[in-house]
Amino acid sequence: MRRRTILITGASSGLGAEMARQFAAKGHDLALTARREDRLADLRDELTKAHPDRTVVVRRLDVTDHAQVFAVFHALDTELGGLDRIIVNAGIGKGTPVGTGRFDANLETTMTNYVAALAQAEAAMELFRERNAGHLVFITSVAGVRGLPRSLTAYGASKAAVSSLAEGLRMELLGKPIKVSAICPGYVKSELNDHVKQTPFIVETEVGVRAMVAAIEAEKGRAYVPAWPWEPLARFMKLAPLPVLRRLI
């Protein structure tokens, strides 16, 4: 396995922090960004103590500040001598039923999960196109497979948009050295879904992220993780008639 330098956004907690732990354990160097600097500093100290030979750099970054995204990505690329893999992970889950007076929550979810992901993709691809190499990873969701009701409508739509963005880039870059992956987790325990009452097939953070990391390391184009039960469930969700799907959700 080649040692890589990996940038992870939204790395201060949840899936991002656990990915950082598992990638460090696999021998990779890390650039970690998030809004909460104190948590990033704690994570950096934890990782460098466990793996003294790893380089771990942290930066505060609000991904909805698009100019800052470009500035931070380029600065980290220069500081670390080139980023090999960029993982677009930062996201929120504040969606509410459409038309119930909380457009602000649905707008924030969409701006963070999709528009900010587009900004990160633009910044990452500028770097990768320049050197004709790199691996761009989008952390999307099984919730993006089909339109979903109630509080999941805007959230699922934002993740569907990210999946479409990833697929478009992957189609463009087929056969070229730049790789693009869309990783679609099912229910994995994190701060993002603490408020969700029904979480079927939920797995612990470490278990879910282990499946995510394996798919990323394999540079899979699209992966539903953990594979069981989410690969067959995703296929079912794509084909199920809306009345059937509605009864199950």
pTM of the predicted model as reported, rounded to 2 decimal places: 0.94
CATH number, domain with residue 130: 3.40.50.720
pLDDT (tens place) for every residue of the chain, 249 residues total: 688 999 999 999 999 999 999 999 999 999 999 999 999 999 999 999 999 999 999 999 999 999 999 999 999 999 999 999 999 999 998 889 999 999 999 999 999 999 999 999 999 999 999 999 999 999 999 999 999 999 999 999 999 999 999 999 999 999 999 999 999 999 998 766 555 555 778 899 999 999 999 999 999 999 999 999 999 999 999 999 999 988 887
Q: What pLDDT is stored for residue 195 in this prediction?
A: 57
What letter represents residue 43's amino acid? L
DSSP 8-class letter at 221: S
Q: What positions carry a catalytic annotation?
A: 155
The boundaries of the domain holding residue 211 are 5-248
Number of domains in the chain: 1
Using left for φ > 0, alpha for ψ between -120 and 50, and beta otherwise, residue 219 falls in left
Distance CA 148, CA 4 (A): 37
The Cα–Cα gap between 128 and 180 comes to 11
Calpha distance 109→95 (Å, rounded) = 6
- Torsion sign over Cα 22, 24, 27, 32: positive
Backbone CA torsion sign across 34, 36, 39, 41: positive
SS3 category, 162? helix
